[in-house]
Structure 1
Amino acid sequence: MDQLTQAIINGGQTTIANVLLQHYREIGLTNAELLVYLQFKRLMDQGEAFPDANQVAESLGETSNTVFQHLHEMLAKKLLTIESITAADQKIHDRYNFDGLYEKLALALKKQPSEVTDTATASGENKRQKVFKSIETEFGRALSPMEMESISKWFDEDHYDPEIIELALREAVLRQVYNLTYMDRILLNWHKRNLTTAAQVEADKQRGIENRLNSAPKPQRQTGGKAWPNIPLFKLGEDPDKQ
């Protein structure tokens, strides 16, 4: 048996539906993202539920940051999720789930949505991507897959408005705390106080400033840095005890 035949047998096969190759651009998948997906699927078909992004990057001749960026884009477009499962060894493991890719593909094969719906969907995805990019810019690094999944949950499970998340990011940056845990506490605090829009958050902050100003002690009238003494008034020559 020659070397090529041996490699083919040992490497196994990765099957890709032709319908995906025909319509992948209709579901928002770019050429680069498709290649990333194929590499991840190859490793997953070989039994790796959570393949190493560095291994994928090596196969593609790209940097790991580039691969993470493509994963981030697929998470933002709901083509990918990251799940935590309990394996046979009773330990919790992470795994990639690309079911969203095929769910969108099924929708794409049905009747095309109206222009209004299509525009609204595109607008929503753009806002999500803007949030991801803003966080990466402020943190000064690429987000990890788990961080990407956490941010996606803010949208899909907690239904936070993108502008609210941007405000939480601003609060974290002002305090020089560059992590999602701190942002999550801010968002949860606003949610408990029923502050669900950026306008409500800004109004609440303004009320807080006004309340602090109103409750501050009023300064005494001073001249030359000293307070005036409390001096009783009476005419010269009069007995002050008779006043």
Structure 2
Amino acid sequence: MDQLTAALINGGQTTIANVLLQHYREVGLTNAELLVYLQFKRLMDQGEVFPDANQVAQSLGETSNTVFQHLHEMLAKKLLTIESVTAADQKIHDRYNFDGLYEKLALAIKKSAHKEVEPAVADQENSRQKVFKSIETEFGRALSPMEMESISKWFDEDHYAPEIIALALREAVLRQVYNLTYMDRILLNWHKRNLTTAAQVEADKQRGIENRLNSAPKPQRQTGANAGPKIPLFKLGEDQSK
């Protein structure tokens, strides 16, 4: 067994959560403090509950005072605590506890997830409000609570896109039918035909127009008495008196 293989086996491994590497700055760790934490974690994973700061300093190529300064900063940020525990030999020993770091990490992840969801929720609410306002404008009156509930069901239960509801409103206005029941029948018809986007609805309407034009009877050419006056044909320069 070569020296590298022996070092890899005997040295063990230290597992680092990717979420920590992704969010460590959000919990208040600097780059230097992260390296200090990783060195302490390495030694703690090897069984040392209170690693020697001098050993960490040597691994980092720093002075012991620098390492202690980083530890004090992490203590001030409540990312680290030093606990006194009674060991099996009944002696009291100090140990490092980085639970505060992971508690702040959990909050950072939750906050990050909330930021991702919040714009989507806001956009959905804005779209819904626009639909309400558009219908009230076209109907020329305020919507009743029951009508607002019906429109909300289009969003929450039927999952109709705002653009589809806007098209159904346009169809109702063109036919001068100002009620939600008519719009609901339009939406249901499109849903049954798998027309779920505005582009699909418009394409379907265009196909309908083309089909009607193609199926319309072609105008017939008139013959006989109704054909109109005949136009004589002759060549240029030909004597027309013959």
TM range, smaller chain: 0.3 to 0.5
Bigger CA radius of gyration: 2
* Highest RCO, 1 vs 2 (Cα 8 Å, sep ≥ 6): 1
